[in-house]
Chain A
Amino acid sequence: MPEPFLSVSELHTGYGVTEILRGVSLAVQPGEVVAVLGSNGTGKSTLNRTISGVMRSWRGAIRFDGVPIERKKPSDIVAAGLIHVPEGRRIFPNMTVRENLDLGAYRRNRTRRTPSRDRVFGIFPRLAERQSQQAGTLSGGEQQMLAIGRGLMADPRLLILDEPSLGLSPLLVEELFALIRTIAAQGIALLLVEQNVAQSLEVAQRGYVLDNGRVVLEGSADAIGNDPNLKRTYLGM
Chain B
Amino acid sequence: MVSSVILVPALLNGLMTGAVYALVALGLTLIYGVLHIINFAHGALLTAALFAAFFANKLLGIDPYVAALFLAPLFFGIGYALQRFVIGPAAHGEDRNILLVTLGLAVMIENALLYAFRADTRTINLSYAFDVVEIGNSFLAVPRVVAFGVVVAIAALLWFAMRWTDTGKAIRAVAKEKLGAELSGINVAHIYAVTFGLGTACLAVTACLLIPTYYINPHAGNAFVLIAFTIVVLGGMGSVAGAMLGGLFVGVVESFSGLYLGESLGQIGIFVMFILVLLFRPSGLFGERA
Contacts and interface: CB of A to CB of B under 8 A. Distances in A.
Chain B binding surface, main DSSP class: helix
Nearest to A99: B169
B183 A106 contact: no
Interface in B150-192: 166, 169-170, 172-173, 176-177, 179-189
A52 B166 CA distance: 23
Contacts of A204: none
A220 interface: no
A213 B82 CA distance: 39
Contacts of B172: 92, 94-95
Contacts of A93: 176-177
B169 A86 contact: no
Interface residues of B, number: 18
Interface string A89-104: 1111111000100111
A79 to B, nearest CB: 6
Interface centre among A75, A84, A102, A154 (most CB of B within 10 A): A75
Closest 8 CB pairs of A and B: A90-B180, A78-B185, A107-B185, A75-B187, A74-B182, A106-B185, A75-B185, A103-B184
24 contacts: A54-B182, A54-B183, A73-B189, A74-B182, A74-B183, A74-B188, A75-B182, A75-B187, A78-B184, A85-B183, A86-B180, A92-B172, A92-B176, A92-B177, A92-B181, A94-B176, A102-B169, A103-B169, A103-B173, A103-B184, A106-B170, A106-B186, A150-B184, A154-B185
Contact of A91 (B177, B182, B188): B177
B183 A83 contact: yes
Contacts, number: 65
Interface in A53-109: 54, 73-75, 78-79, 83-86, 89-95, 99, 102-104, 106-107
A133 B184 CA distance: 20
Interface residues of A, number: 27
A90 B179 CA distance: 7
Interface of A: 52, 54, 73-75, 78-79, 83-86, 89-95, 99, 102-104, 106-107, 150-151, 154
A55 to B, nearest CB: 11
B181 A103 contact: yes
A28 B186 CA distance: 25
A84 B184 CA distance: 8
Contacts of A78: 183-185
A104 B184 contact: yes
Contacts of A84: 183
